[in-house]
Amino acid sequence: MADEQGSFDRVAGGQAADHIPVLLAEVVAALAIEVGDKVLDGTFGAGGYSRAILSAADDVNVIGFDQDPSAAAAAGNLEGEFPGRFSFHGAPFSTMAERVVEPVDAIVLDIGVSSMQIDNAERGFSFQTDGPLDMRMSAAHGQLLDARSDAPSAADLVNTLEEEVLANLIYQLGDERRSRSIARAICRRREELPFARTLDLAAVVAKGYGRPPKDGRSPATRTFQALRIAVNDELGELAKGLCAAETILKPGGRLVVVTFHSLEDRMIKRFFANRSGKRAGTSRHLPELQQFEQSTFQIVNQRPLTPGNQEIARNPRARSAKLRSGVRTEAPIGKIDLSSMGLPDWDQA
């Protein structure tokens, strides 16, 4: 896993460069865009994918989704630049089936946190700059911009969860092997003073972690990732979004998903395996995958596409990116079973 990753290019000195989405050429190729297509960009961000899609063929229409309020400005710019061809919904991509009435030809999802979120200290995503311990993607400067007034922040989680539940969260959503010692350190400190700032939490996590990782990664990397995923229910949103994509894609339509860590990639892999009529074998003597009827997707690339050395050198945050894609068949929508995607059950003591 990358330290603090996203789909924005970086230049020397740590200053943000122009927005260059990860695997841009590969995404556009996988979408197989044709004249007149209607494409849904479920993670609009700064609009890099949407702009490339709109420029890929004549009369292409793009529908953008993003729950992050900071995406609205870039969306407004594209609406002005491509009048009548771009529209935007300030909402999670998991709601796409509720908001888009007509079937679409292709859908792209770029899962995870972006640099414009990390680099804004007031959003509370970064363990390298001080800010309020928030991490809610649907909030700006501590204020929620939707109706979820009770949505917990990262501070709420670290200050209230039982130690065992907190350890489970950090382990399952962050793949952090030292989760128990980190949770213990957090719970001891919060008895004296509740957590409110990112650097404060990062320092306590480092103490609980012990000796720093040999690879130079910050000890807080996986803990912050886990909290962000939990605060925003990212894996639940992804599972719902994949099912929504299956609902609104035309037969022959393409679903392209870019992920940045193993939890997400495993979910995408399992979704495509299930929807292509395959499942894990029940015995080591049987084939790993078994074929069934009524497949709603055909897998395009059995192995994920990854960035080349040149892209990684230009944008180190891209190094963990993986692209998987599938083509919607004419089969009716499959039974929606979110548990089949392997959602972690971290909130049990």
pLDDT per position as a tens digit, 64-75: 999 888 889 999
Ranges of beta strands (E only) in the chain are 38-41, 61-65, 86-89, 104-110, 139-140, 143-144, 249-259, 297-299, 322-328
> Alpha-carbon torsion 78, 318, 301, 326, what sign?
negative
Number of residues written out for the chain: 349
CA atoms within 13 A on the CB side of 166: 23
Distance CA 168, CA 214 (A): 24
The answer to whether 341 and 271 are in contact (CB under 8 A) is yes
Distance CA 157, CA 55 (A): 43
DSSP-based three-state secondary structure for 40: strand
Q: Which residues lie closer than 8 Å to 225 by C-beta, 6 or more apart?
A: 1, 173, 174, 261
Sign of the four-CA dihedral 152, 158, 159, 161: positive
Contact 290, 284 (CB under 8 A): no
b/e code 223-261 from CB counts within 10 Å (16+ = b): bbbbbbbbbbebbebbbbbbbbbbbbbeeebbbbbbbbb
Give pLDDT tens digits for 198-236. 999 999 999 999 988 877 789 999 999 999 999 999 999
pLDDT value of position 116 = 57
The predicted pLDDT at position 120 comes to: 59
Instruction: Please give the structure tokens belonging to residue 119.
Output: 């680099």
Higher pLDDT, 138 or 154: 154
| Higher-scoring residue by pLDDT: 281, 172 | 172
Joined tokens for residue 312: 């990684």
Structure tokens at 219: 């000890």
pLDDT at 284: 40
- Set out the domains of the chain in order of their start, with CATH numbers: 12-115+234-341 (3.40.50.150), 145-231 (1.10.150.170)
Q: In this structure, what are the phi and psi dihedrals at residue 104, rounded to the nearest 5 degrees?
A: -115, 160
* pTM of this structure: 0.85
DSSP 111-149: -S--HHHHT-GGG---SSS--BS---TTEETTEESSS-T
Supply the pLDDT for residue 69.
84
> CA–CA separation, 37 vs 18, rounded Å?
27
Average pLDDT, the chain: 85
pLDDT tens track for 282-296 = 334 334 444 445 899
Confidence class for position 242, pLDDT limits 50, 70, 90: very high
- Predicted confidence at residue 280, as pLDDT, reads 47
